[in-house]
Amino acid sequence: MSSYIKGANAEREFKQILENRGYWVYKPNRSRYHDNDLWNTWDMAGINQKELVLVQVKCNQVRDTRKQLREFPSIPNIRKILAIRIDRKGWIEEEIE
């Protein structure tokens, strides 16, 4: 399985997790002509009656992602989440401060 397919599957899976938690989720459609992330950082955004969550989804390795996510401005009632899919183990969710 290619890394693109693996990442796309992980994003779809986490989108479903957020929807099951009661969030309405926006995930941009893929395009080969421009960056697909929200503000060049986030894979998707979820909103419910209390908050907005911005989510970056990764598979297995994170590398320098945490630093980039921390640099994004912190705003009240907006949570920043790094969701990491570990093969054959499940999900790790880290809230970024």
Percent of the chain predicted with pLDDT > 70: 90
Q: Can you give the pTM of this predicted structure?
A: 0.85
All structural domains of the chain, each given as residue ranges with its CATH number in brackets, are 3-96 (3.40.1350.10)
Block residue for tokens 């986030």 = 42
At 38-83, the pLDDT tens digits run 666 899 999 999 999 999 999 988 888 888 889 988 888 899 999 9
DSSP string for 36-74: -SBTTTBSEEEE-SS-EEEEEEEES--TTHHHHHHHSPP
Report the distance separating Cα 50 and Cα 79, nearest Å.
11
Report the distance separating Cα 51 and Cα 86, nearest Å.
26
